[in-house]
Amino acid sequence: MLQRFAFACLALLALGISAQAAAQADGAANSIFLVARSEMRDPNFQQTVVLVTHPRRGGPWGVIINRPLNLRLAQILPEYESLKGRNDFVYFGGPVERTGLVFMVRSSKPVAGASALLNDVYALSNPDAVDALLRRPGSIQVMRVYAGYAGWAPGQLQAEIARGGWHVLPADAETIFQKDAAAIWPELIERASGRQARYPIRD
């Protein structure tokens, strides 16, 4: 099963099909988790879990979901009244454009101007849009904020997966917004290893 899922992800990335279109076609989630293998040497991604999506244009991109920083969002965006009193920590999202912010919100309703990553998970980059959401009680259930992101050139990510640099798992909202960030990688590496033990990839 894991083998089929990984091959399907490779095929989607290679063909440049948007994850959202693929999800609509087969009912699958439109984003995946990349779980760094224990042997990962790149310090940017050691013991990381990356939420990855593939837009209609450009290469795949994603954010590391398990590296919180000792920095609160209200400290870097003090001009927004809606953030005062909130305890949102900023996470290290990846090595690309580290001064830029990616906002991930969970909402039962579509979020205007946002990119849908899962059925109830949306990504935004405009702080004003997030401020407007926060001013409407009940519009979002939970939020994560990432500084920077991870990006790949066309063909780069599928090559990394094919070489065995990553485990590939279906993405889910519960893991993205899990409170204990330190537990995410150990839990998913165990899940991925267990699946591969049951469904070994054959040459």
Does residue 48 lie within any of the structural domains? Answer: yes
Q: Which two tokens stand for residue 132?
A: 């407007």
Torsion angle, alpha carbons of 124, 125, 128, 132, to 10: 10
- Quote the DSSP letter at residue 102: E
Q: Find the helix or strand (DSSP H, E) in which 70 lies.
A: strand 68-72
> Is 111:167 a contact under the CB 8 Å cutoff?
no
- Quote the DSSP letter at residue 166: E
Q: Which two tokens stand for residue 160?
A: 């990394």
Number of structural domains in the chain: 1
Range of the domain at 169: 2-198
Q: Which pLDDT tens digit goes with each residue over 89-112?
A: 999 999 999 999 999 999 999 998
| CATH at residue 142 | 3.40.1740.10
Does residue 187 lie within any of the structural domains? Answer: yes
Strand, helix or coil for residue 86: coil
> Is 44:95 a contact under the CB 8 Å cutoff?
yes
Give the pLDDT score at 195: 60
- Quote the DSSP letter at residue 88: P
**pTM (2 decimals)?**
0.80
> Is 185:36 a contact under the CB 8 Å cutoff?
yes
Does residue 203 lie within any of the structural domains? Answer: no
Q: Which pLDDT tens digit goes with each residue over 13-55?
A: 433 333 333 333 333 346 999 999 999 989 999 999 999 998 7
Give the pLDDT score at 138: 83
pLDDT band at 178 (very low <50, low <70, confident <90, very high): very high
CA atoms of 170 and 43, how far apart (whole Å): 24
Does residue 185 lie within any of the structural domains? Answer: yes
Residue 168 Cα distances to 8, 42, 66, 109, angstroms: 10, 17, 16, 28
Q: In sequence order, what are the residues at sequence separation of 6 or more whose Cβ sits closer than 8 angstroms to the Cβ of residue 73?
A: 83, 86, 88, 89, 90, 145
Torsion angle, alpha carbons of 196, 37, 32, 16, to 10: -100
